[in-house]
Structure 1
Amino acid sequence: MISATAPTDHSSPIRRIERRFVALTALRWLPVGFKSALTVLLLSERGVPAAAIGVVLAVYSVTVLLLELPTGGLADTWGYRPVLITASLVAVASTAALGLVTSTWALIAAFMLGGLARALDSGPLQAWFVDTTRAHDPDAPIRRGITRAGATESLALALGALGATALIALVPLPSHGARVIAMSAPLLVAAALGIVNAAFLWSWVTGSPHGSRVEVGRAAQLREAIASGLRLARASARVRRILAIAAAGGAAMAGVELLAPLHFADMLGGEGAAAGTYSLLVTCGFIGSAVGSLASPFLVRLARAPHRAILVGAVGASIMLAAISAPTPWRAATAFVAFYVMLGTAMPLVDELTHEEAATGQRSTMLSLNSMAMQVTAIAMSAGAGAAAGVLSPGTAMLLPAAVLALGTLVLLRWPAVSRTIPVPLPEEDRSLVTD
């Protein structure tokens, strides 16, 4: 075990923390890659119209929104490991249900379970990485770990989407008309991978700094964690800008995840015909996002400030999002990949700015505030874009999230000069957080 009396060179435990964080990030998002490209197409194949799909996705976002702050505060008081493991197992149940159920109410229940899982894990893993790193060295940089994890997340999503493409082509299942169809197989594989993720979380997320000593007054700790996050958002102009760009990003992602598969299905001849091709396209998009994440530090150097780099990435993403509405598959596909590249440069930097504004003990709560902001706009976008796609077309409706993202970038034209908070190192006794 690494203790506070270990040699002063902390590079080895810090590298170990980073490697575990990156590997756990991959295990977290690999199952999502298997299902992300196919969920909307599967619902459409089951006979759910675009407007109803938008409502179902909005139910998911409402669930995340209602539970974000309570679960973020729970991670900061109860402990990262139990919250992360619970999230992984709830996600397993949700994903398996999505692959098997056909009734509307069962689908809504599955999406609500998915919203609970998303709320539980929207910040604890990254907060664990930052807190354990800073416990060994309060001045340790976190940008490399966060950007590498961002790239790894995208690559894991890409690998999962590629695996989904292969499964659809290879499994001897019907393409429609049955409870278990070809598009169901990737979701069932994703559920199995979620169990693997839970096992690694149990083994690797050790020495959780928050919750290991909190046995009494847990409810009071939870209330204070939530209140401190809200106070910081109210007091800090920087945090309010971070929340605004997160909200714009949430609208963009909700729009593309709902509308892009329907748009490509229209161009390629239906859901079954589009499933394999669209999964492959999503693979390319996630690889593009990984490239964007790896390019984030370079873009910061060019722009000379993280908020300017976010501005460049978000503006580019809004332009590409509008271009996905092109009526030809190749032009729309090129814009789709470019959108993920540009957004991939921006979002890891949003996380970095969030951590710089949050003290130890606030990190999960602050990340939950970010996720709440994303879910508020995702609710409106899912419902609004679904309705617009029914009246107009999915391609034309794509202009709506593009406009919202473009408007959101305006908050980054001016960045407040004074930071309100400084990350606080953990007490000395909490530095024994990582075992070999």
Structure 2
Amino acid sequence: MTGPARRIQRIYLTLTLGNTLAASFIWGINTLFLLDAGLSNLEAFAANAFFTAGMVLFEVPTGVIADGWGRRVSFLLGTVTLAVSTYLYYLLWQFSSPFWMWAVVSVLLGLGFTFFSGAVEAWLVDALRFSGYEGGLEAVLGRGQMVQGIAMLAGSVAGGVIAQATNLGVPFLLRVGVLLAMFVVAFWLMRDVGFTPERSSHPLRATRAVLSASIENGLKNPPVRYVMLAAPFGAGVGIYVFYALQPYLLELFGDPRAYSVAGLAAAMVAGSQVLGGWLAPRVRRLVHKRTTVLILSSIVGAVILVALGFTRVFWVALVLLALWALVASAGTPVRQAYLNDMIASKQRATVLSFDSLMGSTGGVVVQPLLGRSADVYGYAASLAIGGVVELIAVPFLLASRRQRPRADEYSDSGSAPSPSQ
């Protein structure tokens, strides 16, 4: 790796560390926070569904902003939007606000995250290529996931412990503070390298042009399309499982106010992310095709969720949770690298945002349905049902594999394949 490439990687890891730390302060206690505010299980997961609905609504528009106005601009807008909407969430909890207010602010939270999705990853890939980096993306993206895991480990444990020592609202205020600090860091460190934003005096015309090109490079590109179509099932179930595990584990533990246990669950996911990020490039070298990793990850993850549905022992559930997170984490950098090697630079952020949109769409539908199943049948049954839903992604991944794209066989050595191939 060249000197400029190392600098790009350091900036990427710094931004990833700060953003994940900020977000993870509430990940271990978010569902408990919503329930403490007086929402039912259905309403709590419906609020999460409105959050993902916000991501669905704004993914492509914010992706267009990243491609048309710059990935740095998109990141800065994201920090401000997410800080403001998080503080509004805190106020809703303070005043025990009605559900419709939670729904509105959840949509704004989704908007905040869409400024990051696609933009940061697109910034990294284009800057690395411009700086002369020709290796596989799994290694760098895997390091990013390891940093995410470390930040999540620290943030989720701290959030759970702080919530237990103070109250459930304090971790949300901590998130606001770190996000504002990240605005300052990104303002000084982040520059668009290897990519020139094409700002237009006709924003609607420019939006249509970028969106049209993105569809051409995304949904109309068969191997990319099938990976995107698999996203609603894997991502939708993953979002639900992460948040449902908090009350589920507390139920198994026997103490509904043991918030540190909920933080421990998120911390175990974080630790699995670290190990998964380290394993990703190594697992990739063991198989001939990237899609092999993706397919096996979906199948094994689904089986583990079904097993979780039949578990009544707290420590066994924790072990299964760690295995589920490890399998998912090892597959994530491989999936990211597979997509990026099939996408052209000019539409990279928008196409990646569209992919995130597809995953969020699954969250909009899957979360309230599984949340309702938790109300009727219990959390354990809802996890098993989630495992069955995740298996629906497998046929789409097989369809992508059958297109035989060069990116499927790309290894850590050599130059990157052309996105057009």
Normalization by structure 1: what TM-score?
A: 0.88
Alignment of 1:134 with 2:125, yes or no, is no
Superposition pairs of residues 35-74 of structure 1, within 5 angstroms: 35-74=26-65
Letter in 2 for 1:392: Y
Partner residue of 1:324?
Answer: 308
Over the matched positions of the two proteins, sequence identity in percent amounts to 19
> C-alpha offsets along residues 300-355 of structure 1, whole Å, 9 cap, x if unaligned?
11122211112222222112222222122111111111111000011111111111
Letter in 1 for 2:349: S
Residues 87 and 118, structure 1, Cα contact 8 Å, conserved in 2: yes
Bigger shift: residues 334-343 or 324-333: 324-333
Partner residue of 1:176?
Answer: none
Cα distance in 2 for residues equivalent to 1:165 and 1:251:
24
From 76, 80, 105, the counterpart of 2:71 = 80
Q: 1:410 to 1:94 in 2, by over 3 A?
A: same
Alignment of 1:355 with 2:340, yes or no, is yes
Letter in 1 for 2:90: G
Extract structure 1 runs of 4+ deviating beyond 6 A.
none
Partner residue of 2:221?
Answer: 236
Bigger shift: residues 55-64 or 160-169: 160-169
Q: How much has 1:244 moved relative to structure 2?
A: 2.7
Q: How much has 1:406 moved relative to structure 2?
A: 1.8
Letter in 1 for 2:160: T
Bigger shift: residues 307-316 or 121-130: 307-316
> C-alpha offsets along residues 344-389 of structure 1, whole Å, 9 cap, x if unaligned?
0111111111111101111111111111110111111111011111
Partner residue of 1:168?
Answer: 163
Partner residue of 1:91?
Answer: 82
Partner residue of 1:314?
Answer: 298
> C-alpha offsets along residues 32-58 of structure 1, whole Å, 9 cap, x if unaligned?
111111111111122211111121111
Partner residue of 1:200?
Answer: 185
Bigger shift: residues 210-219 or 400-409: 210-219
**Superposition RMSD in Å:** 2.0
From 349, 352, 372, the counterpart of 2:357 = 372
Q: How much has 1:297 moved relative to structure 2?
A: 1.0
From 107, 118, 121, the counterpart of 2:102 = 107
Partner residue of 1:422?
Answer: 418
Alignment of 1:31 with 2:30, yes or no, is no
Bigger shift: residues 275-284 or 257-266: 257-266
Cα distance in 2 for residues equivalent to 1:262 and 1:211:
46
Residues 52 and 361, structure 2, Cα contact 8 Å, conserved in 1: yes
From 108, 117, 120, the counterpart of 1:122 = 117
Partner residue of 1:253?
Answer: 238
Cα distance in 1 for residues equivalent to 2:201 and 2:12:
29
Residues 34 and 187, structure 1, Cα contact 8 Å, conserved in 2: yes
From 273, 283, 297, the counterpart of 1:299 = 283
Q: How much has 1:266 moved relative to structure 2?
A: 2.3
Cα distance in 2 for residues equivalent to 1:257 and 1:99:
21
Letter in 2 for 1:255: Y
Q: How much has 1:245 moved relative to structure 2?
A: 3.1
Cα distance in 1 for residues equivalent to 2:274 and 2:352:
21
> C-alpha offsets along residues 107-146 of structure 1, whole Å, 9 cap, x if unaligned?
2232111110111111111111111111222745433211
Cα distance in 2 for residues equivalent to 1:383 and 1:170:
31
Q: How much has 1:147 moved relative to structure 2?
A: 1.3
Letter in 1 for 2:240: G
Cα distance in 2 for residues equivalent to 1:123 and 1:234:
16
Q: How much has 1:208 moved relative to structure 2?
A: 5.2
Q: 1:418 to 1:165 in 2, by over 3 A?
A: closer
| Residue-pair matches, total | 404
Partner residue of 1:344?
Answer: 329
Q: 1:108 to 1:211 in 2, by over 3 A?
A: farther
Cα distance in 2 for residues equivalent to 1:64 and 1:348:
21
Normalization by structure 2: what TM-score?
A: 0.91
Q: How much has 1:283 moved relative to structure 2?
A: 0.4
| Secondary structure at the counterpart of residue 162 of structure 2 | helix
| Secondary structure at the counterpart of residue 272 of structure 1 | coil
Q: How much has 1:81 moved relative to structure 2?
A: 1.1
> C-alpha offsets along residues 377-410 of structure 1, whole Å, 9 cap, x if unaligned?
1111111011111111111111122112122123
From 136, 152, 155, the counterpart of 1:157 = 152
**Runs of 5+ unmatched residues, structure 1:** 1-9, 172-181, 425-436
Cα distance in 2 for residues equivalent to 1:145 and 1:399:
34
Partner residue of 2:410?
Answer: none
Cα distance in 1 for residues equivalent to 2:198 and 2:398:
43
Cα distance in 2 for residues equivalent to 1:188 and 1:239:
39
Cα distance in 2 for residues equivalent to 1:38 and 1:353:
33
Cα distance in 2 for residues equivalent to 1:91 and 1:266:
31
